[in-house]
Amino acid sequence: MKKNNFEAGDLIEINFSKISYQGTFIDSPVDEKGIILLRLNSGYIIGFNKKDISSINLLRKNKIKNLISNEKKSELDNTKPGIALIITGGTIGSKFDKETGAVKPIENIQEFLEIYPEVFNSVNIIRIESPFMKLSEDMGSKDWKKIAKTCINLLNDKNVKGIIITHGTDTLHYTSSALSLFIRDINKPIVLTYSQKSIDRGSSDAYLNMKCALNAALSDIAGVILVGHASSNDDFCYGFLGTKVRKLHTSKRDAFKSVNISPLLKIYPDRVEKIFEYKKRNSLKPKIDDSFEEKVALLKIYPNQDPEILNYYLKKGYKGIILEMTGLGHCPGKNSENSWINILKEVQKKGMIICGVSQCIFGKVDPFVYSTGREILKTGVIYLEDMLSETALVKLGWVLGHKEWIKDKKIIKEKMLENFAGEINKNLKE
């Protein structure tokens, strides 16, 4: 077989004596070991030993290269809708590193698009932005702000029908909550997606997630949604509301699940089906509202826990705490050796804001069922109904970041209980 005359992203045909395969050529370190990787139309990646191959035909050069370098809108195909990509890193933006045997972030955007060029054949990529390349565990509120500001510019571009954001999984639900709050009056889809396997691995989940994210970005929804596998099968994805979704498995394809609400969309590679009510595309003018107080913390209640931890946070200058409480919203009461009641009163008198959510994934807090809950409520703790812990943390930082709101605790409570982006399900029955 002759030396490769094709590049990553090219459509090729690999011929054997009795059978042929067509797919996208993937540049990979295994190529140096005499193995060629091909991603089939199904999204699966298979490898072939070069010694067994009779011939290879180049069927089509990778169109993505021209698409990336094309900055003249007059040359775009006007029959295709326009989308924008924001690439931030994570597993979906990573490849196998032959030197370490681990996964590391890709070095440029070109590599990302070359893996799945045909996903984008049906659209014009109007803009590609990469404010940073990070694993999601390394992200923080400053990164959320960068993504939000990037989104604002794209939402106000009339040629952009929707936005796709690629992101790591570990803190993806923090980012989806932040964007849901930081961007007001959203007029188009902002779709976050991910993969659990790097984009150059066999059976990576990235292909279906990207294809479904693209369909969601072209749908009639307006708002922040997270798109990912609905099950371990490669058949369809769900579109989750950005403030009501959580990572519930470390490694499964369908790691993310809706909590206390149905998914909004059922998304196939060729269509989108509505499941639950959502806001639709509109003519609003999106604006940024990303004020944020970084001195907030999420604290889990557990047996034998010393309540003096609250004074530690107070001395460190923290302005607010989300208490992830047991059951319906409890922490050790007056009958416990480690009662939290007095310290809760003390730190709140000194200005710290304390909010309560449940450690349980599903359901909501209710301080009126047991006497302990009533005691805690009297100290001033703000109970946040069915809000997710991660969403609550982001929201507390956002609310406390507004100088005009923090002058009065009554206003803070009102804002924490105001439903800005569907973070509270007022219709939850159980």
* CATH number of the domain bearing residue 130: 3.40.50.1170
pLDDT score, position 40: 82
Catalytic residue among 247, 257, 364, 395: 247
**Alpha-helix residue ranges (DSSP H) falling in 222-308:** none
The answer to whether 319 is a known catalytic residue is: no
Q: Are 241 and 203 contained in the same domain?
A: yes
> Is 90 exceeded by the pLDDT of residue 424?
yes
Q: Are residues 351 and 307 in the same domain?
A: yes
* 198 & 139 share domain: yes
Burial of 267 (0-12, 13-18, 19+ CB in 10 A): buried
**Of 24, 143, 161, 170, catalytic:** 170
The alpha carbon dihedral of 315, 318, 320, 325 has a sign of: negative
Mean pLDDT of the chain: 90
Q: What is the pLDDT of residue 71?
A: 47
Residue 294 reports pLDDT greater than 50: yes
Residue 429 located in a structural domain: no
User: Phi first, then psi: what are they for 313, rounded to 5°?
Assistant: -65, -40
- Tell whether 1 is covered by a domain: no
Q: Is 169 a catalytic residue?
A: yes
Interior angle at CA 216, CA 24 and CA 224, nearest 5: 125
For residue 79, give both structure tokens.
């029959």
- Helix (H) / strand (E) element for 224: namely strand 223-229
47 plus 164 within the same structural domain: no
Residue 142, domain member (yes or no): yes
Q: 199 and 210 in contact (C-beta within 8 Å)? A: no
Identify the band that residue 430 occupies on the pLDDT scale cut at 50, 70 and 90: confident
Element (H, E) at 299: strand 296-300
Q: 20 with 81, same domain?
A: no
250 and 381 co-located in one domain: no
- Find tokens 């003018």 and name the residue: 285
276 inside domain: yes
Residues spanned by the domain of 307? 296-417
Give the model's pLDDT for residue 28: 63
18 in a domain, yes or no? Answer: yes
CA atoms within 13 A on the CB side of 402: 17
What is the largest distance, in Å, between two alpha-carbon atoms of the chain? 81
Is the pLDDT score of 103 beyond 60? yes
Mean pLDDT of 139-155: 97
Query: Rounded to an integer, what distance in angstroms lies between the CA atom of residue 126 and that of residue 80?
Result: 11
Is pLDDT above 90 for 89? no
In a domain, 2, yes or no: no
Residue 430 lies in a domain: no
3-state helix, strand, coil in the chain (%, to 5): 25, 25, 50
In the chain, what percentage of residues exceed pLDDT 70?
87
Q: Which one of 270, 288, 306 terminates a domain?
A: 288
Q: Give the residue from 261, 288, 315 where a domain finishes.
A: 288
In this structure, are 266 and 135 located in the same domain?
yes
C-alpha torsion sign, points 108, 114, 116, 119:
positive
Residues 86 and 233 in one domain: yes
Residue 4 identity (one-letter amino acid): N
Q: Is 29 helix (H, G, I), strand (E, B) or coil?
A: helix
Cβ-based burial of 36 (10 A; exposed 0-12, middle 13-18, buried ≥19): buried
The domain spanning residue 315 has which CATH number? 3.40.50.40
Same domain, 152 and 284: yes
Number of domains in the chain: 3
The one catalytic residue in 24, 150, 166, 169 is: 169
Let me know if 91 is a catalytic residue: yes
Do 21 and 125 fall within a single domain? no
* Residue 231 shares a structural domain with residue 348: no
Residue 136 CA, chain-centre distance (Å), reads 9
424 lies in some domain = no
pLDDT band at residue 17 using 50, 70 and 90 as cut-offs: confident
Q: Inform me whether the pLDDT recorded for 72 exceeds 90.
A: no
* CA–CA separation, 345 and 230 (whole Å): 44
Catalytic residue among 88, 91, 171, 243: 91
Range name among 25-39, 144-158, 208-222, 361-375 with the lowest pLDDT average: 25-39
Q: Are 240 and 209 in contact (CB under 8 A)?
A: no
**How do residues 206-263 score in pLDDT, each as one tens digit?**
789 999 999 999 999 999 999 999 998 889 999 999 999 999 999 899 999 999 999 9
Say if residue 247 is in the same domain as residue 306.
no
